[in-house]
Amino acid sequence: MKRKNDIKLVGLDLTKFEIVQMTEVYRVDDYGQKGTSIGFFSNPDIAMAFVDVQAFAKWYRTGQAMLLTDGDVGYVITQQDPVKIFNDKGDVIKIKKKILDKLTHAERKILNLK
């Protein structure tokens, strides 16, 4: 079952994609809080001109965002701080050792471990 937030990029060829900064145009609510995203422009001046010609321009704002895009479709990148990537092969050895260290002498003997 697909959920709304499932990532659609898994398994796709991303060689034509790049990360770029773009200007988002979005609507705001009565309190000035961000609401619906209208779309993204590569040129901030064009984004502002788009806002200015809207019938209810006071309900629109612009802001900067980082996107993964191929020029036709884009995905907003919300976290830009680097994350730690574990080495599966190297770390599994450390994990196994910690598991084995918790076993008593009797448990090791039952499992035929030294």
- Percent of the chain past pLDDT 70, that is, above it, reads 94
Q: Dig out the tokens for 7 from the structure.
A: 């990532």
Q: What is the 3-state secondary structure (H, E, C) of the chain?
A: CCCCCCCCCCCCCCCCCEEEEEEEEEEECCCCCEEEEEEEECCHHHHHHHHHCCCCHHHEEEEEEEEEECCCCEEEECCCCCCCCCCHHHHHHHHHHHHHHCCCHHHHHHCCCC
Q: Whole-model pTM?
A: 0.67
Residue matched to tokens 């898994």: 10
Q: For 28-41, how does the pLDDT look when each residue is reduced to its tens digit (9 = 90+)?
A: 999 999 999 999 99
Which strands make up the sheet holding 18-28, listed edge to edge?
34-41, 18-28, 60-69, 74-77
**Domain coordinates of the chain in residue numbers?**
16-80, 84-114
CA dihedral of residues 28, 32, 64, 48 (deg, nearest 10): 70
**pLDDT, position 7:** 64
**pLDDT, position 6:** 62
Q: Using CB atoms within 10 A of its CB, is residue 27 exposed (0-12), middle (13-18) or buried (19+)?
A: middle
pLDDT of 12 > 90? The answer is: no
Mean pLDDT of 68-96: 86
- Percent of the chain past pLDDT 90, that is, above it, reads 61
